[in-house]
A = this chain, B = another copy of it.
């Protein structure tokens, strides 16, 4: 590969073409190494998993980055406000975050004993969220359904 297609090489060297980076720039935000890496971590995360701020920070350190916890928090907030991440609350005292991909299931069943979570999808629920929002004249951004209970394992233990 020689010095052909300048645009592409140029683009990739400076900043990879990525719709997320574009929307960051469009909003006056900057594409930093920290933000790129954080986004990458969420993209590499198996679907159905989610990270707390601490966990994200741990993952960053694991990859050799020295991003501060403060930046992890700031970036989580930014990406959430941009609608790229979904903020999850499992009544544990800290929040979790996952990549928002509307086409994938993202509803949760949470075990109140062992805190394990299980992801499921139900098309009717998604629809219902939209319909109910419309009924009250809300501009719906996200709908989250949480089912709390005892998981199969913990059911056994509690008898």
Partner of A122 from B128, B149, B152 at Cβ < 8 Å: B128
What is the copy number of this chain in the assembly?
A: 2
Q: In the complex, what residue of chain B is closest to A91 when comparing beta carbons?
A: B87
The smallest beta-carbon distance between A43 and chain B, in angstroms, is 23
A-side interface mostly = strand
- Are A150 and B145 neighbours in the complex by a CB distance under 8 Å? no
Which of the four size classes fits the interface of chain A? Answer: 35 or more
- Are B148 and A136 neighbours in the complex by a CB distance under 8 Å? no
A140 to B152, CA, bound (A): 11
Q: Name A residues whose Cβ lies closer than 8 Å to a Cβ of B.
A: 87, 89, 91, 95, 109, 111-112, 118, 120, 122, 124-125, 128-129, 132-133, 135-152, 155
